Structure formats: structure tokens, C-alpha cells
Amino acid sequence: TRLAAIDIVTDAAPAAARATPGDPARPAVGPHGRAGQAFETPVTTRVPWGERVALPNSPFAVEIDTFLIDFVVGERGPELASLEPRNPAVLLGFYEGERLVGRSWYFVHHPGMAVGTAPEVPLLLGHLQAEMMAGIEVATHPGSAWIWAGFIVMSLGTLLAFALRHERVWLRLRRRDDAWDVALHHPGALPPAPERATAGWEREVSGLAARLVRLLEPDGRPPVRGPEGRSA
């Protein structure tokens, strides 16, 4: 909620009629004010938020400056203590023409009490008109699609790195007299990693070995030998 308008109660009677006996220069404030006298002719003036309204029987116009629903004095001055209406207070600015002559805090629960530099005008705070409001935050992230795409590619790469095997075939040729010794190795055929020698891998490597042997065999004689116990 926020303050939409406030009713200010003033006295429409002439200032002379409101003068306090023994102190004619100081008018009465209200039922619970400094002078302890009630308004003889109370009049209510509504002051909307953001508007400057003239006070009846006064040279001043007032405008709402700040509203605190729970007024408290902190280290840096007046501040909001909570969102509960424990001590509602309004800071009113007083203008004479276009000139600001002062500001003072007025309190709903402390009628007649004014704190500030405003001129001493007898007034009371009346009804506070509040209106509901909601704050909506809209945010956009133009690069979020690229971030998600990079995250997906990185995740797929990590999964493929663990799911796919790094398979290599080692071909060793050794000259012996007029022939060649050929040895074909792959990790699945080595004793340290027998669990990697799958049936599909063995068939693929065996076929590759046979093709390599045929390519290396001279016409008419078989000088190529493969060591026993290896895929060749």
C-alpha cells in the first residue's frame, strides 16, 4: 500500500478568536495540542499525494513530502521501522506562493505534535487514504540461450568421454632375413585389460589383421608370421 491522500483538519475561525489567553501570538492547536483548546470551527481539507493544496484561513499551502507508516528516528534521521501502522507520520511541506517556508513531521497518534521547521499552523491529521499497489520486476537475459546451449554441449561431451572407449591398434613389423614378422596388438588383447576384449572388437580387429596380412604377403610365398597368443 501507499498513501494516496490525507485529510488535514484546521480551524476556520479567525486567528484572534483562537488566541490563547496570555499569549495572543500563539494559537490553539487542538484537543490534545500544545494549547489544549479544541478547534472552534474545524474544517477538513483533503491533500492528495503529489498536489499542493491551500489551507483555509491561512497564507500557506501544504504538500505531502514523505509518509512513513511506522516512524522512528534512526542514526541517519527519520526512517521506516516496519510495515505495521504503529506510528504513522507525514512530512508536510509548507509553501507561501512558490517559496518553501519549512517542513515538519505530523503524527497520527500524537495530535498537535509537530517536529520540524514549518510555521506553527494549528492542524491535525485526519483520515489517511491508502491505495493498493504491486511491484512487478521484468528482467530479460539475451545471452541465456547461448549459456544453455554451451551447458548442454559440455554435458554431452562429458558423457561421451566416459561412454566411448579410446580404441587403438598397434601394428609392429620386424625384419627377419627375407621375411617380416607382423604383430597386431590392441588394448583388449593385452593381459592387463582382458575385460576390454569384447566380441565385436575382436571380430573387427581380426578382420583388419587379415587384410593387413594379405597386403604384406608377397606373391607366391607366405613370409609373414604372427606370434601366437596375439590378435594377428
151-160, pLDDT tens digit by residue? 999 999 888 8
Confidence of residue 14 (pLDDT cuts 50, 70, 90): low
Q: What are phi and psi of 106, to 5 degrees?
A: -125, 145
63 and 116 co-located in one domain: yes
pLDDT in tens, 174-211: 777 777 676 766 655 444 455 555 556 666 666 666 67
Query: What band does 1 get if pLDDT is binned at 50, 70 and 90?
Result: low
pLDDT at residue number 17: 46
One domain, residues 120 and 20: yes
Determine, yes or no, domain membership for 59: yes
Q: Helices then strands (H, E): number in the chain?
A: 2, 15
Which SS3 state, helix, strand or coil, does residue 128 take?
Answer: strand
- pLDDT for position 112: 78
- What pLDDT score does 31 carry? 38
pLDDT of residue 53 exceeding 70, the answer is yes
Structural domain contains residue 93: yes
Give me the domain span that covers residue 216: 170-225
Domain presence at residue 162: no
Please indicate, yes or no, if residue 147 is contained in any of the structural domains: no
Nearest to 62 by CA among 13, 30, 96, 39: 96
Distance CA 61, CA 174 (A): 109
Residue 165 lies in a domain: no
> Is residue 15 domain-shared with residue 106, that is, in the same domain?
yes
The reply to whether 50 and 108 lie within a common domain is: yes
Clarify whether residues 16 and 117 are in a common domain: yes
Residue 161 inside a domain? The answer is no
The pLDDT of residue 216 is above 50: yes
Residue 205 and residue 120 in one domain: no
Structure-block grid coordinates of residue 53: 493544496
User: Do 120 and 177 have their domain in common?
Assistant: no
Which residues face 224 on adjacent strands? 180
